[in-house]
Chains A and B, each alone.
Chain A
Amino acid sequence: MIELSSDTLVFSFPEVHPSATLRLHLQRTLRIPDDDSTYPLPPGLGQFPLRHVDDFANKVPPQWMEHGGVMFPMYQSEAMWICFDSDYDDDRDVSYPFAVKIATGKVSAVSGETWKSGVNRDPQDYVVVPEQPWLDGYCVEEGVIRQFVAMPLGAGYTAEEQVTGKGEHGGLQILAYPMKRKVYEELFPKSSKRILSDLNADCLACYSAAPSEMGLAPGGRMKQEIYEDSYRLSDWDLDHSSRCFVHIANSMVWRSITGDNPPTTPPTSREYTSAGLPWFDWYDDDNKALPGAAPLTGMKSVATIGKEKGDVPLPENETINPGQVVTLRKGLKPGQVREWQETAGRL
C-alpha cells in the first residue's frame, strides 16, 4: 500500500516484513547550468508539496484521474531530485532493501527503455535503496546524469518525447519491489551487526493556463553514480509491489487546481554560489556505477534543443564555478537531504 504523509510517499509491505517500508519524496533544487560542464550535486531546498489527484477531481485533466496517484507543482525549467529512504531494522542494523523503478513519461531514467513490469538487468532498469540515496536525473554516462528539468509536454524537450517520439504520459512513474523476506533474513541475520561506513565529518558539518501537463527533460550534466545491483535478480519479491503515478502540474495552474500557492521559485545556481553556499559530492566505494544507457545518452539537452529551435528555454543558464563542495559518504541519517545552511535563507 502507498500512503501520502507529510508530502512523502510511503510504500509499506507489512505482509512481507515489518520493516519493509520505503519512503520517497521530491526535493526542490537549483537548476544546474546546461552547458556541458559537469557539476557537483546541488542542494535540497525543501520538499515539493504532494496532493492526491482524487481531491481535485473536477479540476485536473481526465487522464490524471484515470492514472490515479498524486501531483505536485513545478515551474517550467525548474529542477528536482528524488530522495529515497527505507525503514531501519534495529535488530539487524540495516535498512530494508528495495528495487525501485523510476520512469519519466514511462521511459526509465536508468535504462532509457519504455515501461515494462518486473525488474530487468542488461540493462538494469531500477535503483537499489538504500544504496542509492538520491536520484537527480537520467543516467547518460558512467558516473554522470543529466538533471531532471520540468518542461511542457508536447514541446519536444522531454525524455519521453525524445525516446518514444510521443508526449503521451508526462509526470513520473514509480514502482517499488521489496527484497524477499527469506533472502533478507538470510543476508542480514539478527546476530550479525552490519559494519556501517564512517560518517564523514564534513557531512556532519553540513548539517546544521499555461499548459498544465509537464514532463521531465534532460538538463545539465551532474556527477552522480547510479549503482549496479549487488544482489541477485531473484532476491527481489516480484509478487509484492506498489506503484504510483506522480503528475506534474505547471506551477502557474497549481493555484487554480488546489487553491494553494506553489513554492516560491528557487534561487539560481549563480545566486546560490555567490552567497558562498555549498554544493555536494557523494562517494560510495563499495558499489559499482552503471554505464550510461544508450537511449538516454543519445538525448539532447534542453539547452541544445532550445538552440536548434531558436528558443531560450532556460533563463539564467550562465556557466558557474561551484566554490565550496561538501563531500558526503555512506552513513547518512535516514532521509538525509543535501541541506543548505541557515545563511541560505537570505536568498
Chain B
Amino acid sequence: MRNAFGAYLRKRREELLDGSPEFSIRKLAAKIGVQPSYISKVEREEVAPPSEPTIVRWAETLGEDPDVLLALAGKVSADLRDAIVKRPKVFAELIRELKDAPDHALLRVVREVRDGNW
C-alpha cells in the first residue's frame, strides 16, 4: 500500500506538469510548504508518508481527493477516526457489512432528512 502512495503522487504530478510548469517539484514544494528534496523522497518512497495535514495540502494542490490519498498512505482522516472511536461497534459492523457492496448499493445507505408530522 505504501509503495502505491509515492508512485501515485509522482505519476499525478508528472501528468499535471505536462500541462503546466506550476507542478515542478520546486513549485509544488512551495505550495505545500515543504522542501523540494522532501517531495522527491516521498515520491521515490525513501521516507514514510507525511502527516495528515501535509497529505491534505498535497491532495488539494494536485486536485486529488484527500481521503483517497490518505488511504493510499495507509491512513484514515482524523474526523473519520474520531467517528469510529466514538461508536466503534456500530461502525465496525457497518463497514464489515458493506465492505464488498457495490458503489451504487453504498449510495443507497445515505441518510435521508426525516419528514415528520406537520
Could you list which residues of chain A lie within 8 angstroms of chain B, going by C-beta atoms? Answer: 1-4, 9, 52-54, 65-70, 106, 115, 173, 242-245
Give the number of residue pairs across the A-B interface with Cβ within 8 Å.
44
B110 and A245 contacting across the interface, CB-CB below 8 Å: no
B110, B112, B115: the one contacting A243 at CB < 8 Å is B115
Q: Which residues of B contact A52 (CB under 8 A)?
A: 111, 113-114
Q: Closest residue to A242 on the B side, CB-wise? A: B115
Q: Which residues of B contact A245 (CB under 8 A)?
A: 115-116, 118
B115 and A68 contacting across the interface, CB-CB below 8 Å: yes
Interface residue? B20 (CB, 8 A): no
Q: Which residues of A contact B117 (CB under 8 A)?
A: 66-68
A112 to B112, CA, bound (A): 29
A245 to B113, CA, bound (A): 9
- Classify the secondary structure of B's interface with A: loop
22 contacts between A and B (CB under 8 A): A1-B110, A2-B115, A3-B110, A3-B111, A4-B111, A9-B113, A52-B113, A53-B114, A66-B116, A66-B117, A67-B117, A68-B113, A68-B114, A68-B115, A69-B113, A69-B114, A69-B116, A242-B115, A243-B115, A244-B113, A245-B115, A245-B118
For the complex formed, measure the closest distance between the CB of A131 and the CB atoms of chain B, giving whole angstroms.
Answer: 25
Q: Closest residue to B113 on the A side, CB-wise? A: A2
- Classify the secondary structure of A's interface with B: strand
Residue interface mask B75-118, A partner, CB < 8 A = 1: 00000000000000000000000000000000000111111111
For the complex formed, measure the closest distance between the CB of B82 and the CB atoms of chain A, giving whole angstroms.
Answer: 14
A3 and B116 contacting across the interface, CB-CB below 8 Å: no
A52 to B111, CA, bound (A): 10
A67 to B116, CA, bound (A): 4
A2, A53, A67, A173: the one contacting B112 at CB < 8 Å is A2
Q: Closest residue to A115 on the B side, CB-wise? A: B118
A242 to B110, CA, bound (A): 16
Q: Which residues of A contact B113 (CB under 8 A)?
A: 2-4, 9, 52, 68-70, 244
A167 to B75, CA, bound (A): 51
Q: Which of the listed residues B111, B113, B115 has the most CB atoms from chain A within 10 Å of its own CB?
A: B113
A3 to B109, CA, bound (A): 11
B118 and A67 contacting across the interface, CB-CB below 8 Å: yes
For the complex formed, measure the closest distance between the CB of B108 and the CB atoms of chain A, giving whole angstroms.
Answer: 10
A173 and B115 contacting across the interface, CB-CB below 8 Å: no
A165 to B64, CA, bound (A): 54
A243 to B113, CA, bound (A): 9
Q: Which residues of B contact A2 (CB under 8 A)?
A: 112-113, 115
For the complex formed, measure the closest distance between the CB of B86 and the CB atoms of chain A, giving whole angstroms.
Answer: 13
For the complex formed, measure the closest distance between the CB of A333 and the CB atoms of chain B, giving whole angstroms.
Answer: 19
A244 to B110, CA, bound (A): 17
Q: Closest residue to A106 on the B side, CB-wise? A: B118
Q: Which residues of B contact A68 (CB under 8 A)?
A: 113-117
For the complex formed, measure the closest distance between the CB of A57 and the CB atoms of chain B, giving whole angstroms.
Answer: 11
